[in-house]
Amino acid sequence: MRYSIRLADPGFTFTASHAIRFASGETEPVHEHRFRAVLEIAGPLNGSGYVVDFLAASTLLRGTLARYEGMVFQPDATTTPTAERLAAGLLEEFCAAAVKEGLFARSPEEYRVALELEESPGCWALAESNG
């Protein structure tokens, strides 16, 4: 049997700006979004009967999102800061903090962590990782 938790607090947000460079080479103007995140963690139950502690995971996610508040992401020579790349960066930071703080009761590889990032209403990017 597979278990998961989903954290979708309306307060899991941050405001940041970015500009996308398109395949044509054209770069759009820097513009701001109020990004919203949803986090899902799937994995085995721990000795207390849950995947991970909701409160601990929420605290780690809030801290991760807070570091992005007010940032401006610009394209560089090799990458462009799409919502997909921002989601992947947030997920990587969250997973590193989760491992450091002992959020996972078992090996991090036994967990699937997914972060959805809403850039604009109805426009979501998704990044997934194993712990």
Give the tens place of pLDDT for each residue, 39-80: 999 999 999 999 999 999 999 999 999 999 999 999 988 889
The pLDDT score that the predictor gives to residue 102 is 95
The pLDDT score that the predictor gives to residue 103 is 95
State which fold the 3-130 domain adopts.
Tetrahydropterin Synthase; Chain A (3.30.479)
pLDDT range class, residue 2, cuts 50, 70, 90: confident
pLDDT range class, residue 131, cuts 50, 70, 90: low
Cα 120 vs. chain centroid, distance in angstroms?
Answer: 15
Give the tens place of pLDDT for each residue, 88-117: 999 999 999 999 999 999 999 999 999 999
